[in-house]
Amino acid sequence: ESVVPAAPSSGGRLTDQSLSSVVKGLLRDTRELYGEVGLLQHFADQNATAVRKICKKHDKAVGCNTRAVYERTAADLAFWCVPGQGGQVALHVNAIRAELEGAYVALVTAHGSRIGAAGDGGDASLT
C-alpha cells in the first residue's frame, strides 16, 4: 500500500509534478528526523556525562563511593548512554538511523531521476 496520496485534481492519479513534490517533502522530512535523532544521541551523551560529574563531586565532598553503584544501576536504563560505550540509547539511535538511511536510499533510488538527486538541489546524503 502506498503512503503517497492520490491527487484529486487528476482523477485520483498522481502527476509527475505532484509525485515529485511529495517525494521532495519526504526526503526533507527524513533528513530533518535524522538530524533530530542525532540530537537525541548527543543529549543522552551529555546527560550521562553530567550525572557522572555530579556523582564524582558528591563522592569527593562526602568521602564515599556512590558513583560506581549509580552507574552500574543506571547503565541499562533507556536514557543512559556512556559516551564511547554505547548503551540502550545508542542501540535505539543506531537502529532508527539505519531505518531512516534505508528509507532515504529507497526514495532516492526509486525517484532520483524524477526529482534530481536529493530533490531540493542538495546532494543525495542525509548529512
Tens digits of residue pLDDT in 44-103: 778 878 888 998 999 999 999 888 888 777 766 656 655 555 566 667 788 888 999 999
- Residue spans of the domains in the chain: they are 19-112
What is the tally of helices (H) and strands (E) in the chain?
3, 0
Short-list 31, 38, 34, CA closest to 90: 38
Pairwise CA distance, residues 43 & 41, whole Å: 5
Residues 31-48 have pLDDT tens digits of 999 999 888 888 877 887
Pairwise CA distance, residues 29 & 24, whole Å: 9
What pLDDT, on the 0 to 100 scale, is given for residue 68? Answer: 83
What pLDDT, on the 0 to 100 scale, is given for residue 99? Answer: 92
What pLDDT, on the 0 to 100 scale, is given for residue 62? Answer: 93
Cell of 8: 484529486
* Cβ atoms of 17 and 111 closer than 8 Å: no
Percent residues over pLDDT 90 in the chain: 17
